[in-house]
Chain A
Amino acid sequence: MNWRSLLPLLHKEMVLEWRQRYALSGIVLYVVSMVFVVYVASVKPTPPMWNTLFWLIVLFASINAVVKSFVRESGARQLYYYQLADPAALVLAKVLYNALLLLVLSGLASVAFALVADSPVQRWPLFLGTLALGSASFSIAFTFISAIAAKADHGATLVAILSFPVVLPMLLTLLRLSAASFAPEGMPLDTWADVRNLLAVDAILIALVFVLFPYIWRD
């Protein structure tokens, strides 16, 4: 794989996002309005409810942010990119870019959500680590599945159907980790097993992305 094309490709994704700012602001607005809906609907969420609502917001914002990865540019232009750069580098650049985007989005969501509903988080390093792990996991799964779905005629709805069952076990683990970050400081916790499981699954999936992507992009 040609690693040198990775940085220009990452740069391309960012420039593209910046030029089409309506998409980015749309997602940000989506997060803010979801948080506001929760604020209007529920008086004071308990910590487990806070956890669930927060991850629901992040899940739906993530899928909306990632779904456009492969449909934003026309098929002909994508084919042009595949000639210019290694397709593996291209998909890796998209995964990395989406992971960064999701990290920013989930950070934004946690700040916005903490403003309207008191945040029960006690251990911020663990919580931020969970957000980073969640962004990476969601980014890999959603990016790859949106690449598959982009080949179908009605891709956008397909992404949700295809990816929710795939990310559900990851989501359960993330919910456990973020619930652990609500425990007061000084209480002994065993979070390593969950972190290790997520990292292992992420490693398997990123390896599969490299192996399987050549079968997707060629038509």
Chain B
Amino acid sequence: MWWKITSVVLLVYTIIAGFLVPLKSGIERVEPQAAQTGEQTTIRFFGYNTFFARPSDEPLRVWLYYNDQYALYAKTVRPLNDTILEATFSLPVNLPDGKPFVLLNALVDHPTAGASLLPAALTLRQADTLSAPLDPAWTQTPVEQLHVQKGFSFPYQNILYETIRNTYFHVPMWFVLLFLFAASVWYSVKYLRRPEPDLDRYAAAYAEVGILFGLLGLVSGMVWANYTWGRPWSNDIKQLMTAVALLVYMAYFILRGSFSDPEKSARLAAVYNIFAFASLIPLLYILPRMFDSLHPGATGNPAFGTQDLDNTMRAVFYPAIIGWTLLGFWIADLRTRYQRLHDRAMGVD
């Protein structure tokens, strides 16, 4: 009983926190995206979830940021409205290390919304070759004393925007699928050791609900991929592996249905379940590390990187996994009880 309540509480928390917590302020783009050295230039910063125009006691500070050593500070900053900001720079006459061009990151520091960064926002080109000592503008006002937003918010990421909330609904499906299939195999092993129809019902129910969660994960992933990768299906290795796992368990149900003797059906299905799980799961873990993937995490590490999940997201993500897992086991439990009553009514048990 307690775990069913836990499941409901965690899922309600996941849905409320997952949908209502705002994103951090971010910079969508800057205009123009290229400039030349030595110019006086006005650059427009387009913000997302920002409130540039809201009055505050401290000034809004804007940098074009090359690295820890070199950054250009805006001379004047003028917010047009909450999401558009005009900053004037007098660009230096030359570039660090005598490079022909550098990619600068845009950095806006707001006293209450905190600092937001857009990587590689602007290309700065060297107007004509000049071997003078480096312009002091690069080091005059270093990036320091950045503000951190107070309160609970999810990270802003270009491309993802608000879809980052899908992390709490799409990603746990994969965890639940693995837990349910593992539980199904566990009951298959138990059935082979002690052939009781109830153990077989559990194995079948866990596999069934596992397929349901696999389909949900696939569909929620395809909707997400449609917005972020541009199309719902890109033959990504993880998409393929999920489809294969679903095919295996659909085959498991076809095998169950192809015997008239329930004892024989349960025994051979249990054998197939164990065999298929053992051949599938090691490669399901290994293969995504061997192939390139569009999923987060570089090749060689299919999990989330440390930068993909910050602490506020963890505070929702981990409860979401537990909540969805408990829900999956709850549905499987109900399915088993239904099947048990059904078999009893039909006089099979």
Contact = CB atoms under 8 A, between A and B. Distances in A.
To the question of whether A and B form a pair in one complex, the answer is yes
Interface of A: 141, 144-145, 148-149, 151-154, 158, 161-162, 164-170, 172-173, 176, 193-194, 197, 200-201, 204-205, 208, 212, 215-216, 219
19 contacts: A145-B272, A148-B271, A158-B255, A161-B251, A162-B254, A165-B280, A169-B241, A169-B244, A170-B279, A176-B290, A193-B290, A200-B282, A201-B279, A201-B282, A204-B282, A212-B274, A212-B275, A216-B268, A219-B264
Interface in B216-256: 240-241, 244-245, 247-248, 251, 254-255
Nearest to A168: B244
Interface string B280-307: 1011101100110000000000000000
Contacts of B255: 148-149, 152, 158, 162
B278 A215 contact: no
A161 B255 CA distance: 9
Given A173-B290, A215-B270, A216-B271, 19 more contacts: A141-B279, A148-B271, A149-B255, A151-B264, A152-B258, A154-B258, A158-B255, A161-B251, A162-B251, A162-B254, A164-B247, A166-B279, A166-B280, A167-B279, A169-B284, A176-B290, A194-B290, A204-B279, A205-B279
A197 B286 contact: yes
Contacts of A197: 282-283, 286, 290
Nearest to B270: A215
B248 A165 contact: yes
Contact of A148 (B244, B245, B272, B291): B272
B241 A205 contact: no
Contacts of B279: 141, 166-167, 169-170, 201, 204-205
A169 B275 contact: no
Contacts of B192: 212, 215
B276 interface: yes
A158 B287 contact: no
A208 B247 contact: no
A173 B279 CA distance: 13
Top 7 closest A-B pairs, CB basis? A169-B283, A165-B247, A165-B248, A152-B258, A212-B271, A162-B251, A168-B244
Contacts of B241: 169
A170 B259 CA distance: 28
A161 B290 CA distance: 26
B282 A166 contact: no
Contacts of B337: none
B190 interface: no
Contacts of B276: 162, 165-166
A170 B244 CA distance: 12
Contacts of A144: 275
A158 B268 contact: no
Contact of B287 (A169, A208, A215, A219): A169
A189 to B, nearest CB: 13
Nearest to B257: A152
